[in-house]
Amino acid sequence: MLQKTPASPPVSDLAIPHAEGVSNDDFRAAMSRLAAGVVLVTAHDPDDGPRGEDVGMTATAFVSVSLDPPLVLVSLRNGSRMDDLLTEVPVWAVSILGEDQRHIAGRFAMKNRVSDRLLFADLPYDRGEESGAPLMGGALATLECRTESRVVAGDHTLVVGRVLTVAAGAADGGPLTYYQGKYRRLS
- Tens digit of each residue's pLDDT (9 = 90 or more) over 39-94: 999 999 988 767 889 999 999 999 999 999 999 999 999 999 999 999 999 999 99
| pLDDT > 60? residue 11 | no
Sorted by sequence, the CB contacts under 8 Å of residue 129 that are 6+ apart come out as: 144, 165
Rounded average pLDDT over 141-167: 96
pLDDT tens readout for residues 99-126: 999 999 999 998 877 678 889 989 999 9
pLDDT, mean over the chain: 87
pLDDT attached to residue 126: 96
Q: Residue 49 has what pLDDT?
A: 67
If phi > 0 it is left, if psi is from -120 to 50 it is alpha, else beta; for residue 79 that is left
- Which pLDDT value is given to residue 28? 79
Q: Please report the pLDDT score of residue 9 as a whole number.
A: 46
CA angle 72–181–65, rounded 5-degree value: 10
Total number of residues shown for the chain = 187
Spatial distance between the Cα atoms of 161 and 2, rounded to a whole number of angstroms: 51
> Which one is predicted more confidently, 68 or 179?
68
| Residue partners of 115: CB distance under 8 A and separation at least 6 | 53
Q: Given pLDDT bands bounded at 50, 70 and 90, which one contains residue 183?
A: confident
Q: What is the pLDDT of residue 16?
A: 54
Provide the pLDDT for residue 115. 75
Mean pLDDT of 124-134: 96
Its pTM stands at: 0.84
